């Protein structure tokens, strides 16, 4: 057998492996190239599924969370003076 025939036979054996490697490299390059576009599409999809709360809704939610935390602190306080102090702090805020 000639050296050319042997080289061709070995190339044919490496063909599928090279094709998989080239496909993986191409896919990776496309992901790197189009990453900003894909990130934007993903963010838009998330906003469609779960819209962002308005500023008023976020402030109301934060205030409710603070009130619940204050109530929990008052319930855990050791005496009426601590509860009065906590209420005074809450009134200032």
Summarised one tens digit per residue, pLDDT across range 60-83 is 999 999 888 888 877 777 777 777
Summarised one tens digit per residue, pLDDT across range 7-65 is 666 655 667 778 889 999 999 999 999 999 999 999 999 999 999 999 999 999 999 99
The verdict on 40 and 59 lying in the same domain is no
The verdict on 71 and 31 lying in the same domain is no
Domain count, the chain: 2
The verdict on 32 and 5 lying in the same domain is yes
The verdict on 2 and 45 lying in the same domain is yes
**Under 8 Å between Cβ of 93 and 81:** no
The CA distance from 73 to 71, in Å, is 5
- State the pTM of this model: 0.46
The CA distance from 12 to 5, in Å, is 11
The verdict on 47 and 59 lying in the same domain is no
The verdict on 47 and 58 lying in the same domain is no
Tell me the residue range of the domain where 92 lies.
53-93
């Amino acid at each position: 057998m000639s050296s050319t025939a042997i080289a061709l036979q070995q190339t044919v054996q490496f063909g599928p492996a090279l094709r998989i490697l080239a496909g993986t490299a191409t896919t990776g390059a496309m992901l790197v190239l189009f990453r900003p576009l894909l990130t934007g599409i993903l963010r838009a999809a998330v906003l469609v599924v779960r819209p962002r709360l308005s500023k008023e809704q976020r402030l109301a939610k934060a205030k409710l969370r603070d009130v619940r935390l204050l109530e929990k602190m008052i319930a855990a306080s050791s005496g009426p003076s601590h509860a009065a102090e906590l209420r005074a702090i809450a009134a200032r805020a």
